[in-house]
Structure 1
Amino acid sequence: MKYLSITQTAERWGISTRRIQILCGEGRVPGAIRIGSVWGIPENAEKPADARIKSGKYIKKPAENEK
């Protein structure tokens, strides 16, 4: 099985490297392994759903001065 670095995975998924570190630490990336002080993420791993957003989509509310 081929593993990708956090930087490679960040480019592929379109999120920050720090967010991927958090997801790996929480055990939300299936198959991710710790190699010393870095994470190895399986090449075929899929981006986990964002649990911070309950509805499944982000809805940006307009600021008061944009109305």
Structure 2
Amino acid sequence: MLDYISVQQAADQWGISKRRIQKLCEENRIAGAVRFGRAWAIPKDAEKPADARKKEKK
């Protein structure tokens, strides 16, 4: 478990809500996220997924 962080730690690190982190995990948008019972474990080196609501400018 040393190579993983909690949903709360990821939320603090990325500046988004815990619920948003949980939804990203459920949608398989965070690479390597694993579910243990009711909790998610997120790899320490996981990248914050891009916001799908925002379009990239060309």
Relative to the length of structure 1, the TM-score reads 0.78
1:19-39 CA-to-partner distances (Å, cap 9, x unmatched) read 000000000000000011000
What are the ranges of 5 or more consecutive residues in structure 2 without an aligned counterpart? none
Q: Over aligned residue pairs, what C-alpha RMSD do you find?
A: 1.4
- Residue 30 (structure 1) aligned with residue 31 (structure 2): yes
- Paired residues in the alignment total 56
CA distance in 1, matches of 2:10, 2:29: 14
Partner of 1:7: 8
Question: Gaps spanning 5+ residues in structure 1: where?
Answer: 58-67
1:6-30 CA-to-partner distances (Å, cap 9, x unmatched) read: 0000000000000000000000000
Q: CA deviation at 1:52?
A: 1.6
Runs of 4+ in 1 over 6 A off after TM superposition: none
* Greater RCO (Cα-Cα under 8 Å, separation 6 or more): 2
User: Among the aligned pairs, what percent are the same residue?
Assistant: 57
The normalised TM-score by structure 2 is 0.89
- Measured after TM superposition, the shift of residue 56 of structure 1 is 3.2
SS at match of 1:19: helix
The structure number with the bigger radius of gyration is 1
Whole-Å separation in 1 of the counterparts to 2:30 and 2:56: 18
